[in-house]
Amino acid sequence: MMQRLNPMSIQPPATIGVVGGGQLGRMMILEARRLGYRTVVFTDEAPGCPAGQVADEEINASFGDSEATDAFLSQIDVCTYEFENIPAAFIANIEAVKPVFPDRRALETSQHREREKLFLREHGIPCAPFAVVDSADSLALAVEEIGTPCVLKTAAFGYDGKGQIKISEPLDAVGVSQVWADLDATRGVLEGWVTYRCEISVVAARGQDGSFAPFPVSENIHTNHILDTTLVPARISDAEAQAAVALAKQVGDALNYVGVYAVELFLTEGGELIVNEMAPRPHNSGHYTIDACDVSQFGMQIRAVVGLPLSPPRLLRPVAMVNLLGDVWPEAEVHPDWSPVLNDQDARLHLYGKRIARAGRKMGHFCVLADDVDTAQSKANAIMAALRG
Ligand code: AMP
């Protein structure tokens, strides 16, 4: 007789609903399909979005469309989301009928920088000094309190450095009014500037039973506030890596989180760890796990969402992951010659199915596997230079 290891788990061919149509949804769905799950995407993007291309069904509607929401609900057994800029009210409507992992609290905490910072402070998790501002006057006070350099960020709907203004020098009244007007938001968070040795992230999965399964720590190199390269293993000490993982666990436990999440951190010259932000979903800095780990972050997301047991994934080989932004495309609809990456069997290309390339748009990524991380990085840099021609 077949023995069920976990009677609470949702087994194939059940249907997983994915809210959001981007590449993270696409990569989650590819994992779900491999296991035999059905998938339905709900997105406010146009038909044929990256996730919709690989899903069994794609619903294209606004988050306020109750008929479309009912159609989504009628098909799914469990729901997850692939980005955090979703109205919490939409997730509340889903949660009232079907299980949603991660839950609404995780979404609400991480989609709003002010709530996120207050959550970190409340739980004693180290973050940069910050002040909440809602006017030019409160910004002036905050700049005085925090000092320069500092960075003003919108409270809501910021990502990849969008909605951020660095303030390098003390400002006069005119300067403060200008920066506040430039932010173009009703609320913001002013953060002290952190001088760091490197940026790292911990991508981890947390199960429905509270089990915690971290991936190896990533070292992240950003260009213009957008992730450029991820290196694993990160070139940090074991003690630093363990401390980063412990902070990530603290974040997940405090939220009673279920699913994959990422905690981004700064590591200072003095070895201090400062949490920058968390993402309630698989993360760009975890894309390396598809090629370099025995289970990917997307596989772990599916395992967590359907209620399967989790254990820490293993790194199979050192790896460098490089993002392919639209800048690499010679024209909006003309791909570069991919031979430099395709010809190398240790280089793995991932394209997201986006038809139009734009500067700064994440179009794909590639990974290079090697015997050590420095070799992986230099091979990746050479491939990138060749792609740019
Ligand atoms: P964020 O959108 O907050 O993830 O910021 C994007 C990138 O901007 C980070 O990964 C850092 O490279 C940089 N950055 C953001 N906040 C700070 C800060 N307080 N100090 C130094 N660099 C920062």
SS3 for 291-320 is: HHECCCHHHHHHHHHHCCCCCCCCECCCEE
- CATH topology for 129-192? Dna Ligase; domain 1 (3.30.1490)
When pLDDT is averaged across residues 99-126 and rounded to a whole number, the result is: 96
Tell me what the pLDDT averaged over the chain comes to.
96
Name which of 182, 169, 275, 297 is nearest 230 in CA terms.
297
Dihedral sign of CA atoms 46, 49, 51, 53 in order: positive
The answer, yes or no, to whether residue 133 has pLDDT greater than 60, is yes
Q: CATH top-level class for 15-100? A: alpha beta
Band of residue 3 on the pLDDT scale cut at 50, 70, 90: very low
pLDDT at residue 169 in the model? 95
Q: What is the DSSP letter of 116?
A: H
Q: Exposure string (b/e) for 90-102, b if CB count within 10 Å is 16 or more?
A: bbebbeeebbbbb
Instruction: Tell me how far the alpha carbon of residue 134 lies from the centroid of ligand 1, in angstroms.
Output: 21
The answer, yes or no, to whether residue 61 has pLDDT greater than 60, is yes
The answer, yes or no, to whether residue 1 has pLDDT greater than 50, is no
CB atoms within 10 A of CB 379: 17
When pLDDT is averaged across residues 271-297 and rounded to a whole number, the result is: 98
When pLDDT is averaged across residues 138-158 and rounded to a whole number, the result is: 93
CATH architecture of 198-388: 2-Layer Sandwich (3.30)
Please calculate the CA angle 308-31-312 and round it to the nearest 5 degrees. Answer: 45
% the chain with pLDDT above 70: 97
| 4 or 346: which leads in pLDDT | 346
pLDDT at residue 149 in the model? 97
CATH 3.30.1490.20 domain locations along the chain: 129-192
Token representation of residue 193: 């500037």
Q: Mutation test of ligand 1: which of 218, 220, 276, 278 has the most ligand atoms closer than 8 Å to its C-beta? A: 276
Position in ligand 1 atom list of the atom nearest CA 160: 2
Q: Is 286 exposed, middle or buried (0-12, 13-18, 19+ CB in 10 A)?
A: buried
When pLDDT is averaged across residues 260-287 and rounded to a whole number, the result is: 97
pLDDT at residue 161 in the model? 67
pLDDT at residue 4 in the model? 44
The answer, yes or no, to whether residue 233 has pLDDT greater than 90, is yes
Whether the Cβ atoms of residue 80 and residue 17 lie closer than 8 Å to each other: yes
Bond into 313 cis (ω within 30)? no
Band of residue 35 on the pLDDT scale cut at 50, 70, 90: very high
pLDDT at residue 162 in the model? 74
**Atom 5 of ligand 1: nearest residue by CA position:** 161
pLDDT at residue 160 in the model? 67
Instruction: Tell me how far the alpha carbon of residue 276 lies from the centroid of ligand 1, in angstroms.
Output: 7
**Atom 19 of ligand 1: nearest residue by CA position:** 193
When pLDDT is averaged across residues 274-288 and rounded to a whole number, the result is: 98
Position in ligand 1 atom list of the atom nearest CA 162: 2
Distance CA 383, CA 216 (A): 24
The answer, yes or no, to whether residue 353 has pLDDT greater than 60, is yes
The answer, yes or no, to whether residue 19 has pLDDT greater than 90, is yes
Position in ligand 1 atom list of the atom nearest CA 158: 2
Band of residue 2 on the pLDDT scale cut at 50, 70, 90: very low
Please calculate the CA angle 234-369-233 and round it to the nearest 5 degrees. Answer: 10
CATH 3.40.50.20 domain locations along the chain: 15-100
Lowest mean pLDDT among 38-42, 85-89, 160-164: 160-164
The whole-angstrom distance between residue 38's C-alpha and the CA centroid of its chain comes to: 24
Band of residue 7 on the pLDDT scale cut at 50, 70, 90: low
The answer, yes or no, to whether residue 237 has pLDDT greater than 50, is yes
Position in ligand 1 atom list of the atom nearest CA 161: 2
pLDDT at residue 282 in the model? 98
Position in ligand 1 atom list of the atom nearest CA 164: 2
The answer, yes or no, to whether residue 178 has pLDDT greater than 70, is yes
The answer, yes or no, to whether residue 276 has pLDDT greater than 80, is yes
When pLDDT is averaged across residues 324-334 and rounded to a whole number, the result is: 97
**Numbers of helices and strands, H then E, in the chain:** 12, 17
Instruction: Tell me how far the alpha carbon of residue 161 lies from the centroid of ligand 1, in angstroms.
Output: 7
Give the binding-site residues of ligand 1, using a 6 Å CB cut-off: 128, 151, 158, 161, 191, 193-194, 199, 222, 225, 264, 276-277
CATH 3.30.470.20 domain locations along the chain: 198-388
Band of residue 163 on the pLDDT scale cut at 50, 70, 90: confident
Q: Mutation test of ligand 1: which of 225, 228, 263 has the most ligand atoms closer than 8 Å to its C-beta? A: 225
Q: Which residues contact 124 (CB under 8 A, 6 or more apart)?
A: none
Q: Is 165 exposed, middle or buried (0-12, 13-18, 19+ CB in 10 A)?
A: middle
Instruction: Tell me how far the alpha carbon of residue 277 lies from the centroid of ligand 1, in angstroms.
Output: 9
Query: Could you tell me the pTM of the whole model?
Result: 0.95
When pLDDT is averaged across residues 172-191 and rounded to a whole number, the result is: 95
The answer, yes or no, to whether residue 8 has pLDDT greater than 80, is no
**Atom 7 of ligand 1: nearest residue by CA position:** 225
Token representation of residue 340: 């430099």
Bond into 13 cis (ω within 30)? yes
Band of residue 156 on the pLDDT scale cut at 50, 70, 90: confident
